[in-house]
Amino acid sequence: MKTLRKTWPFHVMLLPSMIFLLLFSYVPMAGIVMAFQDYKPWLGFTGSEWVGLDNFRYLFERQDSVQVIWNTLIIAVLKLVFNLFVPFIFALLLNEIRRVRLQRTIQTMVYLPHFLSWVILGGILIDLLATDGFVNRILSTFGVQPIFFLGDNDWFRFTVIVSDVWKEFGYNTIIFLAALAGINPALYEAAEMDGASRFRQTLHITIPSIVPIAAVVGTLALGNVLNAGFDQIFNLYNPLVYEKGDIIDTFVYRTAILNGEMGFGTAIGLFKSVISMVLILLSYRAAYKWANYRIF
Amino acid sequence: MYYKTTGYRIFNVFNIALLIFLSIMCVVPLVHVLAVSFSAKAAADANLVGLWPVQFSLEAYKKTMFNPIFLHSIWISVLRTVIGTAITLMLTFLAAYPLSKDESAFRGRTIYSWLFVFSMVFTGGLVPFYIVIQKLGLIDSFWVLVLPGAVNTFLVILMMNFFRGIPKELEEAAFIDGAGPFRTLFTMYLPISMPSIATITLFSMVFHWNSWFDGLLYLNNSNQFPLATFLQTVIIQQDMSSMSSSPQEMELISQTTVKAAQIFIGAAPILIVYPFLQKFFVKGMTLGSVKE
């Protein structure tokens, strides 16, 4: 108790945050019991009927929910891959520009979309990508028939992934640029002496130096395999593209909040949470073990 | 030197052209919206506007600025941003200090840090969260926009890492002079933490200004919507029914130019703080990463 006399102010400092965490993180966790109930708001947790694993069985039997899980996986994995490679290559190319002012200006422009919300960007994209919109007008000058980017199941995923990469690639280069700045210039000088071309220098010095960072970024992103981006999909989709574009989070919103299937909605949410948690723990463990990366 | 070879010079020209093209692609959509918002209604409806206003007009901004629902939603957004950021800042600053201590100096630190981390790793999902909000009586209350997101583990970690970088001798000196932890935190740590406080303030402000889903989910009355939620319903869902207005007013807010003006006003605060954002976010992004 001697230590407590000295450290009580620390506990007091943490108390407010703990109250918030308890109310808005830990109490809702207790609510996952609903996943095993046929929850009815007017009956509550204690009065609703227990149904065991029925909600989960239902989840894998219903055609729409299985489709939604597939959609989520496909969209999330494609985003993950492109959000790693595009910034990687962009950082390499940007690193070749030796005029500092130009480099800064380019950075300023490409970071911008990251800070705008999907409501703003959604509003803009719906207008730009309409069949008679700006993009289709430019395409038509090349003789391309109008494309219904946001209303055609063959195009929707493409549009979602491209627009997500467009929004985030600039911001995602930051970490690579930091790694590039940390490369020892003596390596390049030595290569220069040996007569290596810039391409060979890139191949044998630059890329090997930033691959470890890319590996860490890629590993940590694994926790998002079931996160296909609620904000984006919700602001871009419409009933025409539910087949290919509906994801777990938007599906939960519609079934649970709009249609009132509370137990079922909780079950899908829990399914997602558990898988994500396992992936996050595994990926952080791997990042710590191989790259000595620690966040906390 | 390698950059004097012909091959590299050719590459360099193409590279610069490509990167400039890509950066222009990142700002073009916003320029287009700006151009539409300053154009005449007829030109905008006929899709004639590219990147420069056609028949310059301030009509759209006049209409937007005389729409009381729109103005009120801006007010709600400002309120939530200011109050929400203040609460988050206070909580983060207080929590990060004890967490920056070693377990030997503060027994229980590990348990606390796990409580923070676990809240980030695992969630109960949307439905239980909604029910908790309901049971707390926060539905249709302004505070639902501010309280649930007040503690952000990511920001706590950012602040904690900053505190860890401060030399221990400084704090020891304060302790020897007889200052307790609270006094040390507020009179000594606070003034030297301004760079990271600025980072957290900006993170939190952008978060609040851009948040729209909480308003849509927990507020039933469109008079209480923050700007982002208002824009979501009017521009994305094109749901005029919730606006409870006359047909003339409905036509008013659905016009192409007015929509563009609303979108631009929604993005404007972000654009204004953008120079600071760029500076501090880049720091924040690399601050919490690899340590030795």
Query: What digits encode the pLDDT tens for the residues B268-277?
Result: 999 998 888 7
Task: Quickly state the pLDDT bin for B292 (edges 50, 70, 90).
Answer: very low
pLDDT at position B241 over 90:
no
Q: Looking at residue B225, what DSSP letter applies?
A: -
Q: Predicted confidence band at B288 (pLDDT cuts at 50, 70, 90)?
A: very low
Per-residue pLDDT, averaged over B101-112, amounts to 90
Structure tokens at B279: 């500076």
Closest Cα in chain B, distance from residue A73 (Å): 18
Residue of A1, A13, A187 to mutate for B, most B C-beta atoms under 10 A: A13
Q: Looking at the complex, report in whole angstroms how far the Cα of residue B86 sits from the nearest Cα belonging to chain A.
A: 14
Over residues B150-178, mean pLDDT:
90
Among the candidates B57, B79, B102, a domain finishes at: B57
**Residue % of chain A over a pLDDT of 90:** 55
Residue of A nearest to B29 (CA): A124
Query: A9: which chain B residues are within 8 Å (Cβ-Cβ)?
Result: 180-182
Q: What's the CATH code of the domain at B274?
A: 1.10.3720.10
**One domain, residues B10 and B42:** yes
Residue A46 has pLDDT above 60, yes or no: yes
In the block, which residue shows the tokens 């996943």? Answer: A35
Claim to verify: residue B142 and residue B177 sit in the same structural domain: yes
Q: Please say if the pLDDT value at position B290 is more than 70.
A: no
B165 in any annotated domain? yes
Instruction: Mark whether B78 and B125 lie in a shared domain.
Output: yes
Q: Which residue of chain A comes nearest to B263, CA vs CA?
A: A120
CB pairs under 8 A between A and B: 264
Residue B235: pLDDT over 70: yes
Q: What is the pLDDT of residue A12?
A: 94
Write the secondary structure of chain A as one string of H (helix), E (strand) and C (coil): CHHHHHHHHHHHHHHHHHHHHHHHHHHHHHHHHHHHEECCCCCHHHHCEECCCHHHHHHHHCHHHHHHHHHHHHHHHHHHHHHHHHHHHHHHHHHCCCCHHHHHHHHHHHHHHHHCCHHHHHHHHHHHCCCCCHHHHHHHHCCCCCCCCCCCHHHHHHHHHHHHHHHHHHHHHHHHHHHHHCCCHHHHHHHHHCCCCHHHHHHHHHHHHHHHHHHHHHHHHHHHCCCCCHHHHHHHCCHHHHHHHCCHHHHHHHHHHHCCCHHHHHHHHHHHHHHHHHHHHHHHHHHHHHHCCCCC
> What confidence tens digit (pLDDT) does each residue in A103-134 have?
999 999 999 999 999 999 999 999 889 888 88
Residues B20 and B78 in one domain: no
User: Are B41 and B166 found together in one domain?
Assistant: no
- B82 and B114 together in one domain: yes
Given a cut of 60, whether residue B53 has pLDDT beyond it is yes
Could you tell me if B186 and B46 lie in one domain?
Answer: no
**Could you tell me if residue B172 is inside a domain?**
yes
Residue B248 confidence (pLDDT) = 59
pLDDT computed for residue A219 by the predictor: 86
Flag whether B76 is in a domain. Answer: yes
What average pLDDT does range B105-110 have in this prediction? 89
Taking 60 as the threshold, does the pLDDT of residue B246 lie above it?
Answer: no
Please report which residue ranges of B136-193 form alpha helices under DSSP H: 153-164, 168-176, 181-183, 190-192
Write down all domains in chain A, each with its CATH number in brackets.
40-291 (1.10.3720.10)
Shared domain for B69 and B211, answered yes or no, is: yes
Q: Tens digit of pLDDT for each residue in A81-94?
A: 999 999 999 999 99
Report if residue B52 sits inside a domain: yes
Place of tokens 């027994």: B107
- Say which DSSP state B29 is in: H
Answer whether residue B242 is part of any domain: yes
**Total of domains in chain B:** 2
Determine whether the interchain pair B23/A102 forms a contact, defined as Cβ–Cβ distance below 8 Å: no
Cα A193 from Cα B104, distance rounded (Å): 52
What confidence tier does B242 reach under pLDDT thresholds 50, 70, 90?
very low
Span A23-39, average pLDDT: 91
- Average pLDDT score, chain A: 90
Residue A285 has a pLDDT of: 87
Q: Does B58 touch chain A (CB under 8 A)?
A: no
Residue B244 reports pLDDT greater than 80? no
CA distance B183 to chain A (A): 10
Verify that B37 and B170 share a domain, yes or no.
Answer: no
Q: How confident is the model at residue A296 (pLDDT cuts 50, 70, 90)?
A: low
B139 inside domain:
yes
- Residue B5: pLDDT band by 50, 70, 90 thresholds? confident
Domain limit, last residue, from B16, B41, B57: B57
Centroid of chain to Cα A6: 43
Same-domain status, B25 and B67 = no
In the predicted structure, residue B237 carries a pLDDT above the cut 70? yes
- Residues of B within 8 A of A32 (CB-CB) are 124-125, 128
How many angstroms away from the CA of B248 is the closest CA of chain A? 22
What is the domain range of residue B144?
61-287
User: What is the tens place of the pLDDT at every residue in B163-172?
Assistant: 988 888 888 8
Q: Of B33, B57, B81, which residue constitutes the final position of a domain?
A: B57
pLDDT at position A19 over 50: yes
Percent of chain B at pLDDT above 70?
A: 90
Inside any domain, residue B192? yes
| Residues B264 and B148 both lie in one domain | yes
Of A18, A28, A295, the CB nearest to B128: A28
- My answer on whether B143 and B241 are in the same domain is yes
Mean pLDDT of chain B: 87
Given a cut of 50, whether residue A161 has pLDDT beyond it is: yes
**Surface of B (135-194) touching A: CB under 8 A:** 136, 147-151, 156-157, 180-182, 185
Domain-embedded: residue B292: no
Record: contact B132-A27, CB cut-off 8 A: yes
B137: left (phi over 0), alpha (psi -120 to 50) or beta: left
**Which chain B residue lies closest to A5 (C-alpha atoms)?**
B106
CA dist B167 and B158 (Å) reads: 17
